[in-house]
């Protein structure tokens, strides 16, 4: 009788292990593709905020909350520290991933090529796999889609 009990317990343990493995595989499979394929950090904590509601009303799914990207520079053996912030990471209906920057009153974005370069180029260079940057202005209730591509102009440093 003891052999049957051992066999029964081993069968139950085996079934539980198989269920656990299947559960882990299903959870991994159902995890958003952006978590698996893009090298973008995510902050799983998304506090309730009117910005989240506004993004959702425009058809975006908020995948991550505010992210701080620490930067370190060394100049002539002197250390300098700074950081970049991404307000949200979102996806659209097609699954494209966007970084979201929120408009700030104290630091408005000028809509010129040089201003866009200075303020947003670091995000495109850090995360080239993202589909673009969304610049969200809650006061104006608008979202602007910003995309980056290299210009076709000669850029080798020689005058033509």
Q: What is the mean pLDDT of residues 79-98?
A: 91
Tokens 């307000």 -> residue: 87
- Pair of tokens at residue 6: 């051992």
Rounded to whole angstroms, what are the CA distances from 130 to 9, 15, 75, 98? 50, 41, 30, 6
Provide, rounded to the nearest whole percent, the portion of the chain with pLDDT above 90.
36
Task: Identify whether residues 57 and 87 lie together within a single domain.
Answer: yes
66 falls within a domain: yes
Structural domain of 54: 50-146
pTM of the model: 0.68
Banded pLDDT at 148 (limits 50, 70, 90): confident
116 falls within a domain: yes
Banded pLDDT at 159 (limits 50, 70, 90): low
Give the three-state DSSP class for 119: helix
Backbone angles phi, psi at 135, to 5 degrees: -105, 110
Rounded to whole angstroms, what are the CA distances from 46 to 53, 63, 90, 123, 126? 11, 8, 11, 20, 22
Provide, rounded to the nearest whole percent, the portion of the chain with pLDDT above 70.
86
41 falls within a domain: no
Task: Identify whether residues 83 and 112 lie together within a single domain.
Answer: yes
More confident residue, 13 or 31: 13
Distance CA 42, CA 36 (A): 11
Residue pLDDT, tens place only, 56-86: 999 999 988 898 989 999 999 999 999 999 9
């Amino acid at each position: 009788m003891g052999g049957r009990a051992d066999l029964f317990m081993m069968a139950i343990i085996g079934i539980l292990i198989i269920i656990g493995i299947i559960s882990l595989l299903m959870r991994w499979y159902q995890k958003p593709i952006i978590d698996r394929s893009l090298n973008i950090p995510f902050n799983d904590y998304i506090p309730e905020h009117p910005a989240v509601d506004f993004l959702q009303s425009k058809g975006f799914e908020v995948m991550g909350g505010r992210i701080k990207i620490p930067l370190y520079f060394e100049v002539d053996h002197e250390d300098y520290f700074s950081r970049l912030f991404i307000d949200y990471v979102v996806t659209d209906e097609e699954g494209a991933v966007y970084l979201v920057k929120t408009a700030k009153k104290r630091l408005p974005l000028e809509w010129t090529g040089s201003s866009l370069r200075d303020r947003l180029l670091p995000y495109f260079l850090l995360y080239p796999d993202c589909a673009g940057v969304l610049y969200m202005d809650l006061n104006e209730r608008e979202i602007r889609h910003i995309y980056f591509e290299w210009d076709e102009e000669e850029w080798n440093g020689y005058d033509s």
